[in-house]
Structure 1
Amino acid sequence: MKRVLVLSLFTALFVSHSFGQGAQEMIKQKAKNFRDQNNAQQGVPPPQATPPPAAPAQPIAPSGPQGISQAQQQNIDKLSTDLSVIKPGSEATAEQKQQLVTDLQTLAKGVSKPSKETLAKLANNLSSALGDKGNSTTQQAQLAKALNVVLNSGNLSAAQAQAFIKSALDSLKAGGVSEAQLQAIGGDLKSIVTDLQKSKPRLYQ
């Protein structure tokens, strides 16, 4: 009997406590509603929930330097292919020489460009050298890349341009081109660099 009374008393206290909490919540909510109504009558907007702080903006990574464009790389590859057409032990035809001149003209993209006469002389000396000895595919690719830089060396220093002249001559020398032919081609390339250096904007002088 005592156990039943104790259990009943405990249950009553629990219900009373729960009801008390519920009543308090109802009173708080009514007070908030009353406050909001008064504010609305006075033109005061109801309080807004504080928005979470915005995430800091991520810095934009600078783009890396641009390399050779795809179009220019195709021009370099075209020159390399046309150089390979000239086989050792054969004399280059007029059409092959003219194609080299066209390739060299296409490579020159600077404001100042080598003259057609200078390029024709270079093409003639190149075809003569390759007709005597020839180059491997790798050497021709290296030669074409070096020629591309030399033909666009207007904004380079003389020392930088000279380094690529040497690269072009080294690729020819590796193929067995004679010293006399190397000097002739080297003279053509130096003449091109000299003309471009004279014509470059004052900013780069």
Structure 2
Amino acid sequence: MSRYTHLADFDQLAGMLAVAGRELCPVIRRASTALLDADAEAGRTVLVEVAAARELHDRIEGWVPAVLARRQPVASDLRLLVAGLRMNGDMRRMGALAAHIAKVAVARYPDPVLPAQVRPTFVAMADAAARLADKAALVMATRARVDALQTGLDDDELDELQRSLFTKLTDDWPYGVQAAVDVAMLGRYYERFADHAVGVGRQVAYLVVGVR
């Protein structure tokens, strides 16, 4: 079995992961538009896009065991396959979290979800999440280790925004229980989205160090 055949397999995996990463970038932006602008159509579009993306994630999950069954991968190849599965899992969860954000916006339509007091925080969260999605997609394409590790630092911004939300929620919150529940959940969704983007970056950094 030729090394070229192995490389063709890994190029196919890299291509599928790159497509999955690129598709996440507009999805999280559209989910944030649904939330910030009370745009139910944008929210419904996100749900359709995330459902379609699941087919690609399922294909990747099925493809890796098939490669293992018909190949005899060496250690560096196994690292690629395992890292690919982990990145796919992180991206699947990122899509699911974008869908959760969109579902809240659609469920509350035509009313806005966010009270004025927390809207600036969510504008900043939306921007930070979109930048992390862009960076995760970029590092999968470039395998730039410094950029991959930078995702961990970028995530600090969202962690701080999440802490500021809880401060607002516990500081004489005047908007009622339902709004508090929505805000707490939405903040968590953005935080977890960022965590999974960092997970993608870590896997890329691992590959750069581990593959010679």
- TM (normalized to structure 1)? 0.38
Structure with larger RCO (C-alpha < 8 A, sep 6+): 2
The structure carrying a bigger helix percent of its residues is 2
Larger Rg, first or second structure (1 or 2): 1
- TM (normalized to structure 2)? 0.37
